[in-house]
Amino acid sequence: MTIKSEVLNLTTPPSRLMYSWMVNADTKYEPKWKVTLLVPQDQSEDIASQLTEYWERFKAVLKQESPDKKFKANELPFGYETIQDGGEEIAAFVIKASMKVGGINKKGEPWKNNPPVLFDEEHGSQPVPESAKAKYDKIGPGSIGQASIRCQGYSGEYGVGIKLQPQALMIRKFVEYSSQPQDAAGYGFDTQSTSETPKASKAPVSSDYDF
């Protein structure tokens, strides 16, 4: 039995962007537009509360509709985590938004979602034109943006949970993607200065190989 849930629309605070597939969908598995947002902990209280309270309301609706049923809850696409990004360890409220490009309904008919709308500082209140979207196909560590997200609960044979669908993305700060690390830490070097002179390794002697 599928239970219809309320729809909640949210706009995130300015957040660090990761795994952004908002121009061209990620086609590794089922084609999806997606983006992960790292909301700074000191700005996360409001949106964390809204999502947590929404989940609690949806669970209450499920139990009201089927009080004797045991529900299997899937992993939620939000929560506090510590994540590595661009050589940095970041503690944040993490939001993982994704939306299917399309599919086939139960009647065998194809359907499609509208792609997320992209905005940036350069174009202001107008969407980024198609001719200018290519540079945002890959977004590098340190990029900052806000997302408009549609939240809705789901239930079915594979469990219950919340889907967060990205409706639009405003890019506040763009860092170009590079396949190579951008700093020494990205290569594993310790960047903290030290006054100690590294000790020379002891030359091996014959007894070092005894066993």
The torsion angles phi and psi of 52, rounded to 5 degrees, stand at: -65, -45
Q: How far is CA 193 from the centre of its chain?
A: 34
Query: Tens digit of pLDDT for each residue in 152-175?
Result: 998 887 888 999 999 999 999 998
Q: How confident is the model at residue 119 (pLDDT cuts 50, 70, 90)?
A: very high
For residue 209, what pLDDT is reported? 34
Task: Name residue 102's beta-bridge partners.
Answer: 112
Q: How far is CA 15 from the centre of its chain?
A: 10
The torsion angles phi and psi of 3, rounded to 5 degrees, stand at: -105, 125
Distances (CA, A) of 60 to 1, 7, 50, 73, 138: 16, 15, 15, 13, 40
The pairs formed by 132-138 with CB atoms below 8 angstroms and a separation of 24 or more are: 133/23, 134/23, 135/174, 135/176, 136/20, 136/22, 136/23, 136/171, 136/174, 137/23, 137/24, 138/20, 138/177
Query: Which is it for the CA torsion 128, 132, 133, 136, positive or negative?
Result: negative
Provide the residue type at 49 as one letter: S
CA dist., res. 66 & res. 3, Å (int): 10
Q: What share of the chain is helix, strand, coil (3-state, %, to 5)?
A: 20, 40, 40
For residue 68, what pLDDT is reported? 83
The CA R_g of the chain, rounded to the nearest whole Å, is: 23
For residue 210, what pLDDT is reported? 37
Query: Tens digit of pLDDT for each residue in 49-99?
Result: 999 999 999 999 888 888 888 888 899 999 999 988 777 788 899 999 999
Determine the average pLDDT of the residues in 96-113.
Answer: 89
For residue 70, what pLDDT is reported? 87
pTM here?
Answer: 0.78
CA dist., res. 10 & res. 111, Å (int): 25
CA dist., res. 122 & res. 128, Å (int): 9
Three-class secondary structure of residue 210 per DSSP: coil
For residue 5, what pLDDT is reported? 77
% of the chain residues with pLDDT over 70: 82
